Amino acid sequence: MVDIDVEEIMTEIRTSLESKGCNADELSFNDIYAPRPAFRKDTFAKAVGYLYDNKFVPWKVDDNGPKVKGFLKRTLRKMFGFIVAPFANGQNTYNHYTSEAFYQLLSYVEEQNKMLEYYQKKVDELEQRMETFQTMRLSEK
C-alpha cells in the first residue's frame, strides 16, 4: 500500500497557484469541465417511477416495539406532532407535485420520441421518392 501525503500535495498545488497569480476567491469548481452521462429514457422512467412510488413520507411510525418504547414514541409524537405534522405535510405536497411534474416530463419525452420516429419515417419515404424521381429523370436523358 502506498502512503499518500495529502498535505504535501495540497502545498504543491497552493504554491503552483500562487506562482500563477491565482487567488482562492477566483477558483471555482464550476470552471471545471465534467462530462455528463447521456440521457437514457429507461433509467429516467425507472427513477420517475421510484419517485412517484415513494412520494409520501410518513411522520408517524408504528408502535409495535416494546411497551415502554411504544409509550415513549406515542408520548413524543403527541408532544411534537403539531410541530412535525405541518412540515411532513408540506414535504408530502412538494413530493407529490414534483413527482407529477416528472411524470409530465417523461410523457413529453415519450411524445417527442414518437413524433421523431414519425418524421424520420416521412423523411425516409421522401428520400426514397426523391431517389426514384432522380433515377427516372436520369434514365430519360
In tens, the pLDDT along 85-141 reads 889 899 999 999 999 999 999 999 999 999 999 999 999 999 999 999 988 888 876
| Residue 122 within a domain | yes
User: Is residue 101 in some structural domain?
Assistant: yes
Domain count, the chain: 1
The values of phi and psi at residue 66, to 5°, are: -60, 155
| Domain with 48 in it | 38-140
pTM: 0.55
7-61 pLDDT tens trace? 888 888 888 877 877 766 665 666 666 677 788 888 888 999 998 898 888 877 7
Determine phi and psi for 97, rounding to 5 degrees: -70, -35
85 occurs within a structural domain = yes
On whether residue 119 sits in a domain, the answer given is: yes
All three cell numbers of 63, joined, read 408502535
Q: How far, in Å, are 46, 54, 85, 106 from residue 42 at the CA level? A: 6, 18, 35, 10
